[in-house]
Amino acid sequence: MHKIGVIPGDGIGPEVVREARKVLDVICERKGIQLDFEEFPLGAAHYLKTGEVLSDETISRLEEKESILLGAMGDPRVSPGVLEKGVLLRLRFHFDQYVNLRPVKLFQGVPAALAGDRKIDMHFIRENTEDFYVGLGSRVRTGSSREQLKLIRETYEVKFDIGIDLKDTDELAYQIGIITRQGARRVIDYAFDLAKKKGADLVTSVDKANVLTEVYGLWREEVEKASSSYGIEKEFQYVDAVALHMVRNPERFKVLVTPNLFGDILTDLGAALQGGLGFAPSGNINPSGVSMFEPVHGSAPDIAGKGLANPVGAILSSALMLDTLGYKDAAHEMESAVMSVLSDGKHRTADVGGKMSTTAMGDAVLNALKSQ
């Protein structure tokens, strides 16, 4: 019995999670997989009613789970960042989900303006707990610039020979990116191990080492070591060059490993290549702990409750969850069902110009799975 926490969340989250659960139930019954679901009402409604974002008690209950299935987080009634940081980022950091795995695959029958008819099948492995998302930053205000810069230097041991002289009306904001050798090593090893399992002969490392030399210099050292250890070739690409190649020649990429910030940006470009955010799954993974799976799209409050959301990303995220739990055949059958539904070009939700409802798309995937 696998204990699974379910956080439907905000906006379209409950709608797409419902469809994913529907498909999960069928494949699990077929394969004899036992999943014990417990739902957690986290999100805007819970916060507005109780003033609580994510309690320590809820964290403790989630610690008992093997995986978490999440819909979406965010609501215009709540200030930006409250739910995203208070729930999403807190869970990622608390459970040390240091791998963000985002497959980017264009299925036949899905219109993709950037990709056309090209074959796209790549995996992004994004470092998920370090880089510029660690929250080290502040503002230096008028009147105490020299003292505050001195404090920054002493606190973070940063060389601040930048010659800044603040005027009376000036203000300086700064954010510090942190990469530890251990943090880089473990996610890079994960990427090379995944490449080995998938038979890929090249791993593309993404950085901006020509400008941010310290953090990404260390990153490159670990890529060199992993390449040698796994016997798999590596290439170093600057993030801007990767963005260019993803548009012009996306077939060249198979496995990419990226620091946190660049991975966040490039995988949204990847979603555009595969037809839109509605088709994009993701996993926040701790290989030896609690992992969390969610579609890449947000809560889309403007269409919530209208039956317009695309549930494919959520269905594929739940398949990714099964794959991580060790049920690769079940995950493959779920993906195959999605592929068969999309291949004729007739089953389309509103995000790609179609008229199918969220429930109808879920039912179509369900029927395809049953007919396999």
CATH of the domain at 238: 3.40.50
Task: Please indicate, yes or no, whether residues 95 and 36 belong to a single structural domain of this protein.
Answer: yes
Task: Please indicate, yes or no, whether residues 27 and 67 belong to a single structural domain of this protein.
Answer: yes
Name the catalytic one among 170, 240, 329, 344: 240
**C-alpha–C-alpha distance, residues 260 and 257, integer Å:** 10
Q: Which of 225, 253, 273 is the last residue of a domain?
A: 273
Kindly report the pTM of this predicted structure: 0.90
Name the catalytic one among 3, 85, 196, 208: 208
Task: Please indicate, yes or no, whether residues 25 and 78 belong to a single structural domain of this protein.
Answer: yes
In the chain, how long is the greatest CA-to-CA distance? Answer: 71
Question: Would residue 264 show up in a list of annotated catalytic residues for this protein?
Answer: yes
The reported pLDDT for the residue numbered 138 is 76
CB 203 within 8 A of CB 256: yes
CB 96 within 8 A of CB 285: no
The distance of Cα 146 from the centroid of its chain, to the nearest Å, equals 39
Task: Please indicate, yes or no, whether residues 118 and 246 belong to a single structural domain of this protein.
Answer: yes
**C-alpha–C-alpha distance, residues 276 and 107, integer Å:** 11
Task: Please indicate, yes or no, whether residues 156 and 290 belong to a single structural domain of this protein.
Answer: no
Packed helices 328-343 and 358-371: angle between N→C axes, nearest 10 degrees: 120
Question: Would residue 133 show up in a list of annotated catalytic residues for this protein?
Answer: yes
Identify the segments of the chain with pLDDT beneath 70: 141-172
Task: Please indicate, yes or no, whether residues 260 and 296 belong to a single structural domain of this protein.
Answer: no
Task: Please indicate, yes or no, whether residues 88 and 11 belong to a single structural domain of this protein.
Answer: yes
Residue 246: enclosing H or E segment and its boundaries? helix 239-248
Task: Please indicate, yes or no, whether residues 55 and 188 belong to a single structural domain of this protein.
Answer: no
CB 123 within 8 A of CB 253: no
Name the catalytic one among 65, 98, 105, 133: 133
Question: Would residue 351 show up in a list of annotated catalytic residues for this protein?
Answer: no
Instruction: Give tens-digit pLDDT for 313-372.
Output: 999 999 999 999 999 999 999 999 999 999 988 999 999 999 999 999 999 999 999 998
Q: Of 196, 217, 199, 197, which is closest to residue 208 (Cα–Cα)? A: 217
CB 359 within 8 A of CB 307: yes
The reported pLDDT for the residue numbered 155 is 60
Range of the domain at 371: 1-106+280-372
Q: How many domains does the chain have?
A: 3
Task: Please indicate, yes or no, whether residues 146 and 243 belong to a single structural domain of this protein.
Answer: no
Question: Would residue 165 show up in a list of annotated catalytic residues for this protein?
Answer: no
CB 53 within 8 A of CB 344: no
The reported pLDDT for the residue numbered 156 is 55
Task: Please indicate, yes or no, whether residues 117 and 229 belong to a single structural domain of this protein.
Answer: yes
Task: Please indicate, yes or no, whether residues 166 and 196 belong to a single structural domain of this protein.
Answer: no
Q: Is 331 exposed, middle or buried (0-12, 13-18, 19+ CB in 10 A)?
A: buried
Q: Of 20, 5, 99, which is closest to residue 318 (Cα–Cα)? A: 20
Strand partners, 317: none
The values of phi and psi at residue 246, to 5°, are -65, -30
Name the catalytic one among 10, 75, 131, 264: 264
Q: Which of 243, 273, 303 is the last residue of a domain?
A: 273
Q: Which of 246, 273, 300 is the last residue of a domain?
A: 273
The reported pLDDT for the residue numbered 147 is 64
The reported pLDDT for the residue numbered 264 is 94
CB 17 within 8 A of CB 314: yes
Task: Please indicate, yes or no, whether residues 117 and 225 belong to a single structural domain of this protein.
Answer: yes
The reported pLDDT for the residue numbered 167 is 52
Which CATH number belongs to the domain containing residue 324 in this structure? Answer: 3.40.718.10
The reported pLDDT for the residue numbered 114 is 80
Name the catalytic one among 96, 121, 193, 268: 268
The reported pLDDT for the residue numbered 151 is 63
Question: Would residue 98 show up in a list of annotated catalytic residues for this protein?
Answer: no
Alpha helix ranges (H) inside 32-144: 44-50, 56-62, 82-83, 90-94
**C-alpha–C-alpha distance, residues 68 and 39, integer Å:** 10
